[in-house]
Amino acid sequence: MLRRLLSFVVLSALLCGAQAPRVPLATFSGAVHGVSDKQITIETTEGNLVDFDINRNTKILRGKKPIKASDLETGDMVTIDARQQMVKYLIAVVITAQPKTEP
């Protein structure tokens, strides 16, 4: 009886979509080195190039205004909040570009 109950609890948790606890987002800052609709590469202040995948859930902002990845330009300063997926991929959750300064 106890074995059946335990099996039921485990199966219920799987069917309800129980997930492992989420890891906090990591924050990266740097200059845009390259960008496409699916990926962005930034150069950090230490000179490292870091790649991030962009997916349909990624929010891209300039200040607080939503923009498209194509609106980002090489050299734009950005802050990226990202999560790691499958050990080696960084998925951009929020990309925030600094507002452009008026000349």
**pLDDT tens digits for range 39-76:** 999 999 999 999 999 999 999 999 899 999 999 999 99
Measured between alpha carbons, how far is 61 from 89 in angstroms, rounded to an integer? 22
pLDDT tens digit sequence for 36-48: 999 999 999 999 9
Reply yes or no on whether the pLDDT at 21 is more than 70.
no
What pLDDT score does 2 carry? Answer: 46
What are the sequence ranges of the domains in the chain? 23-97
Query: What residue type is 34 in one-letter code?
Result: G
Percent residues over pLDDT 70 in the chain: 75
Surface-to-core class of residue 78, CB atoms within 10 Å of its CB (0-12 exposed, 13-18 middle, 19+ buried): buried
Q: Is the pTM of the predicted complex or chain greater than 0.85?
A: no
53 contacts: CB under 8 Å, gap ≥ 6 = 38, 39, 85, 89, 90, 91, 92
Question: For residues 8 and 78, which has the higher predicted lDDT (pLDDT)?
Answer: 78
What fold, for 23-97? OB fold (Dihydrolipoamide Acetyltransferase, E2P) (2.40.50)
